[in-house]
Amino acid sequence: MKTMTVGEFKTRFREALAAVRDGQTVVVCYGRSRRKVAAMVPYASLGQPPVRPMGLLKGTASVSFARNFAVTDEDLLS
């Protein structure tokens, strides 16, 4: 893990990006106390987002309208 101050990060952004591309994590520190505020990690390390199946809530909700239900354009827009 590589640590850089904000100024270093701004000045050496290409180097930081190359380090991340090589699989390293770059942490950005801020202030005199060098408080860690951000981390740039390789995208591949985040993994794939979970796949959501279609129709997950099928059968759990329903809707019905009265037979005489009608809305005019004027009623809808007002």
For residue 25, what pLDDT band results from cuts at 50, 70 and 90? very high
- For the residues 37-56, what does the mean pLDDT come to? 87
Q: Output the DSSP codes for 52-76.
A: PPTTTTTTT------TT----HHHH
Output the CA–CA distances (angstroms, integers) from residue 74 to 7, 51, 57, 69, 77, in the order listed.
Answer: 59, 42, 34, 15, 5
CATH class, domain 1-42, is alpha beta
> Tens digit of pLDDT for each residue in 56-76?
778 887 888 888 888 888 888
Q: Where are the domains of the chain?
A: 1-42
